[in-house]
Amino acid sequence: MRIALVCTDRQVVFADPRRCPSRLRGMAEAFLRAGHDVHVMAAGPQAAVEGLTVREVRLPVTSREVDWHFAQVTPDLVIERYVPGRVEGVEAAAEARLPLLLDVAPEHLTGEHDEDLLRTLVLAGTPSALGGALVSSEQDAARLRVLAGPLLAVNVVEDAVRPAGFDAPAATLAAQVATRLRLYDGEMRIAYLGPLTRESGVLDLLRAVAGLGHDPLPRVVLIGDGAARNEALALSFEHGLKLTLCGRVAEDELAAHLNACACVVTGEGAGPLPLLQAMAAARAVVCADTPEHRRIARGGDDARLVAPGDVQAIHDALAELLAAPEAAARMGARAREHVRASFTWEAQSERLLAFGLGLGERERAV
């Protein structure tokens, strides 16, 4: 089966782990391992990736340009990552009557992009477009269904972990990360993984750590970026916390960052991926008690669930994990095996293809 993955965001470089969304790369690799003919069409300079055909879409992107690539590939299915303001892939797929899945990330379902997203959904939902939409959680699906109405089918294909996410980091990489971040032996550390926003819970985490009875207090390692970065710095200074800002970390280095910490707190607003990545790294995790987190963590067996915004609950969960490192390690090991069994891209890609192929079946039935 020939599958075209389209992303017209000029900031995305497929071959660069730091500049390629994990979801896009995970899909491509899983399709490839399943024996499909995979073509990635992306804006910006691209480098070769073993086994994949990576086609550079010239800038400025036009629907004619994308249509030319479709003519060369003749895909059976197109999956386009939604980029605000860009409809070229949707237009080209509609013109060629190709089954199209529009993949919408959680950050584009906050309300800020609703007007643009609706225009794109209208185009994808026209009879000639054979379109459907993908999201990573039931919560996001509910939001998109309210926006899209009967325009097109919405399917949940959860985020998943790439095979490299389960590997223990090489000793040389772990040493490089420790040196780069100035992490010292014998120091207790807590990682935060997710967006740095007021809504994500990162500020609640800092307040919770400030109340721990440790002397010295654990260092907090923030993995991610966002508008609350300076607020986090100011709050850590106010409470005398040691803070390390990592920014966004490439997937290939993420395990080395997480393994340098005793436990991980994951943020809200980025879907379930941060939780899955932390669990795959065999870390003891504290996360918000949401329906999707509760299901992934099996009701709390594989992660500590706390009420969103409850500083005391975060404090108590961290205190429990830090006081019992052996129990925390056992929880992390269980979590890794659960994610390995249920949340890989191989499993998710099968569901995705079944949904996408159903679009084409409906067209043939008509």
pLDDT tens column, 31-58: 999 999 999 998 766 666 778 888 888 8
Identify the pLDDT of residue 356: 80
Nearest 5°: CA angle at 15, between 59 and 58?
A: 10
Identify the pLDDT of residue 202: 97
Using the predicted structure, report yes or no on whether residue 359 has a pLDDT greater than 70.
no
Using the predicted structure, report yes or no on whether residue 363 has a pLDDT greater than 50.
no
Name the DSSP class of 216: S
Identify the pLDDT of residue 83: 94
- Report the mean per-residue pLDDT for the chain: 89
> What backbone torsions phi and psi does residue 132 show, to the nearest 5 degrees?
-145, 170
Between CA 52 and CA 49 the distance in angstroms is 6
**Which of 360, 351, 357 is CA-nearest to residue 30?**
351
Identify the pLDDT of residue 61: 84
Burial label for 6, CB within 10 Å (0-12, 13-18, 19+), is buried
Using the predicted structure, report yes or no on whether residue 223 has a pLDDT greater than 90.
yes
Q: Which residues contact 72 (CB under 8 A, 6 or more apart)?
A: 55
Q: What percent of the chain has pLDDT over 90?
A: 60
In this structure, which amino acid lies at residue 288?
Answer: A
Rounded to an integer, the average pLDDT of 153-169 is 88
Name the DSSP class of 154: E
Identify the pLDDT of residue 175: 95
Q: Is residue 282 very low, low, confident or very high in pLDDT (cuts 50, 70, 90)?
A: very high
Identify the pLDDT of residue 158: 86
Identify the pLDDT of residue 366: 36
Residue length of the chain: 366
Domains of the chain: 2-160+345-365 (3.40.50.2000), 166-342 (3.40.50.2000)
* E strand intervals along the chain: 2-7, 37-43, 53-57, 77-81, 100-103, 131-135, 153-156, 189-193, 219-223, 243-247, 263-266, 284-288, 304-306
Identify the pLDDT of residue 27: 92
Identify the pLDDT of residue 360: 53
Identify the pLDDT of residue 362: 47
Stretch among 189-203, 242-256, 344-358 having the lowest mean pLDDT: 344-358
Cα dihedral angle (13, 17, 20, 24), rounded to 10 degrees?
Answer: 120
Stretch among 90-99, 238-247, 317-326 having the lowest mean pLDDT: 90-99
- First and final C-alpha spacing in the chain: 22
Between CA 300 and CA 303 the distance in angstroms is 5
Between CA 321 and CA 314 the distance in angstroms is 11
pTM of the predicted model as reported, rounded to 2 decimal places: 0.83
Stretch among 61-65, 130-134, 152-156, 210-214 having the lowest mean pLDDT: 130-134
Q: Is residue 165 very low, low, confident or very high in pLDDT (cuts 50, 70, 90)?
A: confident
Between CA 205 and CA 191 the distance in angstroms is 10
Between CA 282 and CA 285 the distance in angstroms is 9
Identify the pLDDT of residue 331: 96
Of 127 and 142, the one with more pLDDT: 142
